[in-house]
Amino acid sequence: MSRRTRKGRRTKPAAGVLPAGPAYIKRKLSFFDPLDEEQLLKIDEQVDWMLENIGFAFRDDPESLRIWKKAGVKMDGDKIFADAVWVREQCAKAPSEFTQLARNPERTVSIGGNNQVFAPIYGAPFVRDLEGGRRYATFDDFQKLVKLTSMHPNLHHSGLVIAEPTDIPVSKRHLDMVYAHMTLGDKPHLGAITEKSRAQDSVDMAEILHGKDTMDSSVVIMANVNTNSPLLIDRVVSEAIQVYSSRGQAVVITPFILTGAMGPVSTAAAIAQAIAEVMITVAFGQLVKPGAPFVMGNFLSSMSLKSGAPTFGMPEPVLSNYIIGQMARRLGLPLRCGGSLTASKIEDAQAAYESADSMHSTAIAGSHFTLHAAGWLEGGLATGFEKLIMDADRLGSYQKILNGLDLSDDEFARDAYTEVEPGGHFLGSAHTMRHYQTAFYDATLSNSENVESWEEGGSKDMRRRAYEKWNSMLDNYELPAMDPATKEALDDFVARRKHELPDAWY
């Protein structure tokens, strides 16, 4: 069924199959720290001022207020006014680096430290592809997108809602999505959060997949939740933390701040607000379970001056990526930020310019876990099949950049200079022969032919090439092997829960 050898390596890749990549990026390139100590302290000061004076509401979840009350933190109604030093102490309890196990041990990732992990788009109700156009996403689309993510060497993590399978009732959708990630691929993935019982179902399925002992000692599933910016942490967040953190699993806390709407219209304020919202939420998580792993999410967007519509890939959030990277390292919390973001409706130059600027800064800034690294179109409303494959192709380039500059003796090629005369060339030098095959990243969707060859080949633009690529990948998809007993247990769980749950479409 699979072409894998016992050691898990493919004997020979089929046409359309990309060679496997590393499980995640172990960065060697230095970090970019744009702010000096005085500037950092200004942001810290604003964060502390917000924590102590503005306060954050934990709403519609009496249990979360009981937890806060028990901790003796100053409250006013559902608003928490926490001592900033205490909040920082709590955040310091969360690990700066943790491992998320994949069911295939070769795909296990490390999040934090010098590691960087790329995951696809999350949450789009629509999909778009070159032939099929734009449409509501179905479970069939969802499965295809999970397969492509599973196959792509530059995506390390499978995410969760690569697109909303809108043909499945909302009440049951999470079961099919988590099941698809667990069975169609073997990379690490996220669990559901939209309601407490759905979070619990995800955790229960992870326990079936990984076993209770492994889950007791390791992170095997993560959740991604948005605070309700500004200043509000609603029940979805606090309940997800109670489910995931209490079980020692990881939670990504992401304030989505469209500056000017969910935060002030300035980047400095939005960064500080985002950090403060994450910190109070991580502190809450440490009350639920000290040492519970968290990722500091940050998702700032700018807006069009003409219409107020959100914009992406623009300089203000790009700059904030660089700043927030430094702030996260200082705080010692793993970071999620940025992604390949765009407001464009299709995979045109706008989509690529905006995605590249956004993702370039995300990568260099040191985002440890990057959701939306591939596939995002239309401000996140649509997942593009071509966009997924195009972005993922470029992710390989960032991976190479993050490997840093090799300064070993052989890289200086002194022997080659003794072979080549002024005005000559190095094509046949021994050094070139030794290194030729690994010297350059092979961007499979970039065309470097001369114009005549490109025209003879049909003048295909990148979008067309991506369309052909993902179709050919799906033709070559192979289901990764799974222990039959585990699969049966998952099947039974999903069947039982689907039977128990009513059909609900909202």
Interface residues for a second copy in 152-181 (CB under 8 A)? none
Residue 260 interacts with a second copy (CB under 8 A)?
yes
Residue pair 222/252 in contact by the 8 Å Cβ criterion: yes
Nearer to a second copy (CB atom), residue 232 or residue 494: 232
Candidate segments 115-123, 142-150, 329-337, 400-408, binder of a second copy by CB under 8 A: 400-408
In the complex, the smallest distance separating the C-beta of residue 384 from a second copy, rounded to whole angstroms, is 10
User: What's the token pair of residue 298?
Assistant: 């940050």
CA distances for 63 relative to 55, 70, 192, 232, 282, angstroms: 18, 11, 20, 16, 16
Candidate segments 11-19, 83-91, 204-212, 393-401, binder of a second copy by CB under 8 A: 393-401
β-strand partners of 219: 100
Residue 56 interacts with a second copy (CB under 8 A)?
yes
Q: Which residue in 6, 437, 484, 500 binds a second copy (CB under 8 A)?
A: 437
Residue in the structure block whose two tokens are 């993590």: 157
User: What's the token pair of residue 70?
Assistant: 């028990």
Residue 289 interacts with a second copy (CB under 8 A)?
no
Number of residues in contact with a second copy, rule: CB under 8 A? 125
Q: Which residue in 159, 188, 263, 375 binds a second copy (CB under 8 A)?
A: 263
Q: What share of the chain is helix, strand, coil (3-state, %, to 5)?
A: 45, 15, 40
Residue 484 interacts with a second copy (CB under 8 A)?
no
Q: How far apart are CA 380 and CA 387, in angstroms?
A: 12
User: What's the token pair of residue 278?
Assistant: 């994450």
Q: Which residue in 180, 241, 251, 262 binds a second copy (CB under 8 A)?
A: 262
Residue 193 interacts with a second copy (CB under 8 A)?
no
Interacting residues with a second copy between 105 and 124 (CB under 8 A): none
In the complex, the smallest distance separating the C-beta of residue 40 from a second copy, rounded to whole angstroms, is 10
Q: Which residue in 268, 474, 482, 489 binds a second copy (CB under 8 A)?
A: 268
Q: How far apart are CA 336 and CA 323, in angstroms?
A: 13
Candidate segments 151-159, 172-180, 216-224, 394-402, binder of a second copy by CB under 8 A: 394-402
Interacting residues with a second copy between 228 and 247 (CB under 8 A): 228, 230-232, 234
Mark out the alpha helices in 247-314 (DSSP H runs): 267-288
In the complex, the smallest distance separating the C-beta of residue 374 from a second copy, rounded to whole angstroms, is 12
Residue 15 interacts with a second copy (CB under 8 A)?
no
In the complex, the smallest distance separating the C-beta of residue 77 from a second copy, rounded to whole angstroms, is 10
Residue pair 506/28 in contact by the 8 Å Cβ criterion: no
Residue 39 interacts with a second copy (CB under 8 A)?
yes
Name the maximum alpha-carbon separation found in the chain: 80
Candidate segments 203-211, 213-221, 413-421, 491-499, binder of a second copy by CB under 8 A: 413-421
Residue type, 152: H
- C-alpha dihedral (481, 482, 488, 493), degrees to nearest 10: -120
Residue pair 463/386 in contact by the 8 Å Cβ criterion: yes
Interacting residues with a second copy between 370 and 389 (CB under 8 A): 378-379, 381-382
Interacting residues with a second copy between 329 and 358 (CB under 8 A): 343-357
Interacting residues with a second copy between 440 and 469 (CB under 8 A): 440-443, 445-451, 454, 459, 461-463
Interacting residues with a second copy between 211 and 230 (CB under 8 A): 228, 230
SS3 232: strand
Residue 30 interacts with a second copy (CB under 8 A)?
yes
Question: Is the peptide bond between 230 and the residue preceding it cis, with omega within 30 degrees of 0?
Answer: yes
Interacting residues with a second copy between 293 and 312 (CB under 8 A): 302-311
β-strand partners of 251: 223, 294
β-strand partners of 302: 311
Residue in the structure block whose two tokens are 């667990």: 182
In the complex, the smallest distance separating the C-beta of residue 156 from a second copy, rounded to whole angstroms, is 17
In the complex, the smallest distance separating the C-beta of residue 11 from a second copy, rounded to whole angstroms, is 22
CA distances for 126 relative to 162, 171, 177, 354, angstroms: 10, 19, 16, 20
